[in-house]
Structure 1
Amino acid sequence: MWRILLSVFFPLVAIVSFLVFSSDQGYVLIRVDHYDIETTVTAMIILLVTFFLFFFFITQFLKSIFNLRRRFIHRKALKQEKEALIKFLEGDFQKVETKLMSQIKQAENPIFNYLLAAMAAEKDSRHAHSDQYLAKAEQYIKQKFTGGKQAEKNRLTLNITRVRIQLSRGDIDLAQTGIYPLLKKAPEHPEVLRLAEKIFLQTKSYPSLLKILPVMRKMRLHPENEIQALEQKLHRSLPTSTTSGSKRRLKSD
């Protein structure tokens, strides 16, 4: 905006200066109904420049007020989010929801608010509220992000949170159903690997766990001695599970 002002202002100053020192400053006649306004070109240009400057500074003033209000709202939303994080760490989960939802319209990233509120509600054993926040986060992603990397990142965060909540509830079948797409989309994501490890151990899906073990080693998810111990445990468990499964099939036959 300042560039536009300077690009217009200096040429006008040059023109006015030329006319002021000129013997003939020109003549302007403005007729409105029965009224005539007579002035020189110099005076008309000065009047227009004055009006332009007045309009410019009024616009800048209103813009600064609007930006100040927006910054104030943004800072307030950030403050509420920080306080919500502190309350989450303190275990005051109801206040976490209150603070996050009170500024949801002004939040920089509402998905963060919804997902953290979902985790807080889950920690407080309010499963219905948790599901509602997850649904709102999913709806927001569908409305605001039609595609692209940002949409994929948000969906990944949402699905990780959903699987984590399902696992904490003991909905192991749902968690197992949700972990496979995550492993496909983000095979080296540390939290995806951690969730997959827990799910596969609980469901005794040892072949699936063995498949991701090299990635767990690559990502240094655990110290090497723990990875080796887990690998040995899985190899010892596989023949046993296979044998017992074969025996059950033989008995049924």
Structure 2
Amino acid sequence: MRILIVEDDPMLGDGLQRGLKLIGHAVDWFGTAAEADRAIGMMHYDAVVLDLGLPDDDGVALLGRWRQQGRQMPVVVLTARDAVASRISGLDAGADDYLVKPVELDELAARLRAVTRRAAGMPEPVWRHGPLEYQPAARLALWHGKAVDLTSRESMLLELLLTYPNRVLTREFLRDKLYDWDKGSESNTLEVHIHHLRKKLHPGIVRTLRGAGYTLGTLEAIEIGTSEPEGGDRA
């Protein structure tokens, strides 16, 4: 999941970025509304953590503009404003959730998972695809009921495929979701993760479409045990 943090407190912003990265998310952090606006215009984020007290603009006004522009990414407001009226104004401006500082990282991560599940139309705590069960909160994958040991990146990749089960995801889209702007990846890193998913789960769990990208394998492919050639680009 790629997350944007908009927070002008250097200590809090850095702490949130580091903490969310440690649990496997790609995270960009900016301290002003202007920087956040530029980032939103350049990148698709799965969720935003938004402080209301920004130095160059009001967070409620910024959120209102995003919604007027048709930007529907989930937004969790994080602020020191604990008055009921402030909560109401934030929610009315289009926030999906509201947390008052100080906040525990585990609670913020749980709120982010909840709002992104709802946005993806998958509110259930367990996602299923044939014999595959995936629990996003625990980053736990089960194949025929047996736990499979996945790395953080492999779990993120599987979660992306399950989030968009009927969509072909380009290499660029997947790399943007898996890696931060300031953390590049080797050209074949994505293909290595896909190879590992096929090896650990099932050869047909990921389908390669030539010149297009990747998509979740069909139930038929999983049942008969077919897959695309490793590193292949065949349809």
Q: How high is the TM-score relative to the length of structure 2? A: 0.29
Of Structure 1 and Structure 2, which has the larger fraction of its residues in helix? 1
Larger Cα Rg: Structure 1 or Structure 2? 1
Which protein, 1 or 2, shows the higher relative CO under an 8 Å CA cutoff with sep ≥ 6? 2
Q: What TM-score, normalized to structure 1?
A: 0.27
Structure (1 or 2) with the greater strand fraction: 2
